[in-house]
């Protein structure tokens, strides 16, 4: 049990719709990272938030956006959903940025785009 919670657990959307996924970070952590894990693949880094500011972004289009709130919880928003967006979305929290630090993962949100 990492203390990182994600909601919802599962979600079904239609192509073109918009979706918001939520993440509550572990107590004391101020950094949240989001990853996309397609079926049978390793997780791919989407972006990271540190103290409410984006701090690094992977190779994902602008329709993937996020927020971090003062309590360090976070949202991932995806606009204009495409079929290829179907994946497990993982949130990880950690303390601070830079240097080696451990990221603790939630159980993920399974998104299916039809």
Partner 1 sequence: GNSVTQMEGPVTLSEEAFLTINCTYTATGYPSLFWYVQYPGEGLQLLLKATKADDKGSNKGFEATYRKETTSFHLEKGSVQVSDSAVYFCALQETSGSRLTFGEGTQLTVNP
Give contact residues for partner 1 (rule: CB under 8 A): 2, 4, 6, 31, 33, 35, 40-45, 48, 55-56, 58, 90, 92, 94, 97-108
**Smallest gap, in angstroms, from Cβ of residue 56 to partner 1?**
6
Query: Rounded to whole angstroms, how far apart are CA atoms 2 and 89?
Result: 16
Residue bearing tokens 């990271």: 48
Nearest to partner 1 of 80, 96 (CB atom): 96
Q: Would you state the structure tokens that stand for residue 10, as one six-digit string? A: 């599962």
Pairwise CA distance, residues 53 & 10, whole Å: 27
| 3 state DSSP class of 85 | helix
Q: How far is the CB of 38 from partner 1 (least distance, A)?
A: 11
Q: How far is the CB of 28 from partner 1 (least distance, A)?
A: 16
């Amino acid at each position: 049990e990492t203390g990182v919670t994600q909601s919802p657990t599962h979600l079904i959307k239609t192509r073109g719709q918009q979706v918001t996924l939520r993440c509550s970070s572990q107590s004391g952590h101020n950094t949240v990272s989001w990853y996309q894990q397609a079926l049978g693949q390793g997780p791919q880094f989407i972006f990271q938030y540190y103290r409410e500011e984006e701090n690094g972004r992977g190779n994902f289009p602008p329709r993937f956006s996020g927020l971090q709130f003062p309590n360090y919880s976070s949202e991932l928003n995806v606009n204009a959903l495409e079929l290829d967006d179907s994946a497990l979305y993982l949130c990880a929290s950690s303390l601070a940025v830079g240097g080696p630090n451990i990221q603790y993962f939630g159980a993920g949100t399974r998104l299916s785009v039809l």
